[in-house]
Structure 1
Amino acid sequence: MIERYARPEMAELWTEENKYATWAGVEVLATTAQAELGLVDRRALEDIRRAPVPSVARVRELELTRDHEILAFLAAYTETMPPESARWVHHGMTSYDLVDTALGFILARSCDLVLNAARGFAELLVARALEHWDTPCIARTHGIHAEPTAFGQKLAVHAFTMHRSVERLAAARRAVAVGTVSGPVGTYAHISPYVEEYVCRELGLGVEDMPTQVVARDRHAQLLSALAVAGAGVEQFALEMRMLQRTEVGEVDEPRTSAYQGSSAMPHKRNPTTSERLCGLARILRSNAGAALENVALWHERDLAHSSVERVILPDSLTVAHYQLVSATGLLAGLRVFPERMARNIEATRGLVYSSEVFLDLVAEGREREEAYRLVQAAATEAWSTGSSLAEGLAARGVEVADGQMEPLRFLGNRAHLKSRLNRLSKELQSNVEV
């Protein structure tokens, strides 16, 4: 996790200080449950509650003599407590009862930030899609001009893509928001299941269905896969914005600050750096999802092969995904749209993009389908090669273009059903309360 791509609210969740504070919170909750069972003296519980969270520096110092982070943390956490109270900390627990339960809590908070950002991006996509629902532009297939569409429909595609990611991310949050306090190999041999229920309930977590020693890593793989898919959705949007900003296209322009400088050598440059960055960050999310899948298979009840990987991929993926979504929202909010340039681009091929309308009109008039297709294709080929218009090529073959036959609005008149779908999505997103 690097500061450049980390927003403060997400970065704070993944600091070592917050990790140790969460670990201390888990230990207090576990001891509280033990006290309710009559296993821990209330005076000891009060000493444990009052104990300060140890500093990162102190834990690192003690780790040098233990080579075990959790034991170093426990030593640092208990060193200010009376010995008769300190002995009840971590009672009946194993390391990953602490680590994975705290991790579940931090993952849930991180997912909340990502989900809120994803919902916000989806809502803005809907709003801007409705704003430009009737703004004609050219659709491109294989990168080549196809038929007229509307810029609003382009954005609506991305709105539904992001909505599906919101649903996947919500499911992934439920998957990772679990804990386990079940003892060394998950048998509850040394600790009551009540302790686990109490701790997880107080933290707003579910309980691992069938514990071993750790929370099952398919849960984390589900989360990172959902983040990767969401990142790919942002990339799809950003790539479209990059393509539409090309000099010869020029249909949109992403926002830039007054301090913007596009090139160290060419003062005129206005590079699509924000959308390029969004595309690049999606690659990190995909790579990390693969590493998370590698972490699913652990030896027997557990091994430690996943731990070092997760120290990197969990904070990095959640931080990058959150940054990517917030940045994409900012790009879209400030995006400038140029309907006049879109109109000029529609006409850039001198009527070729209306070939399907002419073709279907000829069929409707009684021409055989293959004959009509070949006739229009020949006229289009002539227009491509000579620089003439499709209308001129058709006229040379005895086909006159009627008034209004070559108009972009002919392609936009039968989309009420699509707009109704978008309106339903808008209502659904607005009905969802932020987590």
Structure 2
Amino acid sequence: MTISLWDSALFRDMVSTAQMRAVFCDESRIRAWLEVLSAQAEIQGMAGIIPSESAAEIVAAATCLQLDPEETVKEIAEEAARVGRPVLPLVRRLSAACPGQAGEWVHFHGTTQDILDTGAALQQARAMALVQAELIGVTAALCDLAELHATTAMAGRTNGRHARPVTFGFKVAGWAVELWRASERLSEISERALCGQFGGAVGSFAPPAPGGPRERSALMMALGLSEPGIAWQAARDRPAELVSGLALLCAALGRLGSDIGRMSAEEMGELDIVDPDGASGLSSAMPHKRNPRDLEILGAVATMSAGLPSIMLNAMSRQVDERHGAGWIPEWEVVPQAFLLASGGLAAAQRVLSHLVVNAERMRQNLERGHLGVEADRLMTSLAPVIGERAAHDLVQAACADEAVRRSPKLLLTAVQACAADRGIELGDVPNPEAGPPQTGLAEQECLNVLRCLRQTMMKADHV
């Protein structure tokens, strides 16, 4: 039986990738727990806390333990339903798989949260590697697109209306930098958040639990995780920050999709998405339609991820004392979901960019449709030295309110002169400069400068 999008064969590939789902499937989750149990035994054996021979037997048994995706997981799940957690049933299986008395030393004086949190950190580290790899690809594609169109003039728009001209490369460079900030943010968060637990029942290495911070540091090093410094069983800011970082990434992808969607609408026509797959986005009602499904996905993952940090923040406040499951259990759903949504959004973005077609001529035509703004800027520039910047602005603004002027921008100078006469303002001979190429300011330079810096940063970060 399937309930959620993630386990539905009909929908799962729309909002996540197979690779990311594999990281968080039950078999991978149990394998991560076995890695922790194995590393724990190895570290305790090296420290003389348990017999080194037994430690070696535990490591070998954990490596070879067979996990049938159907039977083994089902059996562990049935026992977990009675116990309330799945670690004890797994510990019993691993103990039974060890020869002689070695099984007595499995999970020696550990606690369930040590295994679950540390195993989750291993999964999250693997998931983060997938996210960062996809982010590199999407950001690199945006850099190439921005460079190609660094000089392609288009209408800059604010509040859905023409403002002043920019270049398409300038706009795309903004998308690229925003996504790279998401990458850098996630790298910083990972250093803090991807760490495990090892400290016994309440995290303090209280007797009879042997060992201490040295063994905890050795365990984290062996697993490739950060050292927490102190137990964080009830302090859940780490996973909350991780989910927030992923939600910010999804929001940036959503903005990318919204911009492309608006620019690719037929009435704007500045962009198009041409998928060579003839079946992509077919409508069941209208034979002419090719719906941009990947743009839908970008919007959906942004919407679905937006509420996840709220759940995590609420869960943080549910923690009391040294541990409470009410504030912990929500993480088991929310953290994987954040990664799954990020994977689906990045995959959709990659597909969109690979099928994107830029219509520079339509951008030019649309820019000309906003000719009033160009005329207003030119005229204001001519008037400012005569009557002052603010007075020129107010005068041109009043003239632009004339409906006839809005229909025919060439009438603007006449309307300005009429407004000036009504207000008793002497203009004299106002020069009316001829129309020239679109004035995009420093859009090209800003675009190329930020691309150069971005590529250098990516190289230094060893991301490419």
TM-score for both structures, normalised by structure 2? 0.86
Change (3 A) 1:250 1:70: same
Q: Contact (CA 8 Å) 1:123, 1:429: kept in 2 or not?
A: no
1:40-92 CA-to-partner distances (Å, cap 9, x unmatched) read: 23332233223215431231243355443111111222222235111100001
Q: Call closer, same or farther: CA 1:98–1:18 in 2, change over 3 Å.
A: same
Match of 2:60 among 41, 45, 50: 50
Q: How far does residue 387 in structure 1 lie from its aligned partner after superposition?
A: 6.3
Aligned residues: 430
Which residues of 2 match residues 185-196 of structure 1 at below 5 A? Answer: 185-189=202-206, 190-193=209-212, 194-196=214-216
CA apart distance, 1:330: 2.3
1:250 to 260, 266, 269: 269
Identity %: 26
Q: 2 CA distance for matches of 1:217 and 1:101?
A: 13
1:221 partner amino acid: A
| 1:382-393 superposed matches below 5 A | 382=402, 384-385=403-404, 388-393=407-412
Aligned pairs for 1:327-366 within 5 A? 327-364=348-385, 366=386
Q: 1:416 aligns with which of 445, 449, 452?
A: 445
Task: Decide whether aligned partners of structure 1 residues 374 and 314 sit closer, same or farther in structure 2, where only a CA change above 3 A counts.
Answer: closer
Distance 1:279 1:200 in 2: 38
| 1:267 counterpart SS class | coil
Match of 2:309 among 279, 289, 294: 289
Structure 1 residues 304 and 186: CA distance shift in structure 2, 3 A: same
Contact 1:53 1:77 in 2 (8 A): no
> Are 1:429 and 2:454 counterparts?
no
1:300 to 307, 311, 321: 321
Question: Deviations along 1:220-254, whole A, 9 cap, x unmatched?
Answer: 11111111111111111111111112221111012
Match of 2:18 among 2, 8, 19: 8
Deviations 1:286-341 (A, max 9, x none): 11111111222311101001333122111111011122123212212321110111
**Unmatched 5+ stretches in structure 2:** 1-5, 418-428
Question: In structure 1, how many angstroms separate the alpha carbons of the residues matched to 2:253 and 2:74?
Answer: 39
* Equivalent position to 1:77, from 71, 85, 94: 94
Matches within 5 A, 1:161-176: 161-176=178-193
RMSD (Å) for aligned C-alpha atoms: 2.3
Check if 1:315 corresponds to 2:336: yes
1:48 alignment partner AA: I
Is the 2:375–2:412 Cα contact (8 Å) retained in structure 1? no
Q: Which range moves more in the overlay, 298-307 or 373-382?
A: 373-382
**2:228 is the counterpart of 1:217:** no
Conserved 8 A contact 2:173-2:447: no
Q: Which moved more, 1:192-201 or 1:135-144?
A: 192-201
Task: Provide the residue aligned with 1:407 in structure 2.
Answer: 437
Counterpart selection for 2:392 from 369, 372, 379? 372
Against the structure 1 CA distance between its residues 88 and 296, is the aligned structure 2 distance closer, same or farther, given a 3 Å change threshold? same
The DSSP-based 3-state class of the residue aligned with 2:155 is strand
8 A Cα contact 2:234 2:323, kept in partner: no
Amino acid at match of 1:302: R
Question: Are the counterparts in 2 of residues 29 and 198 from structure 1 also a CA contact under 8 Å?
Answer: no
Match of 2:44 in 1: 34
Deviating above 6 A after TM superposition, structure 1's stretches of 4 or more consecutive aligned residues are none
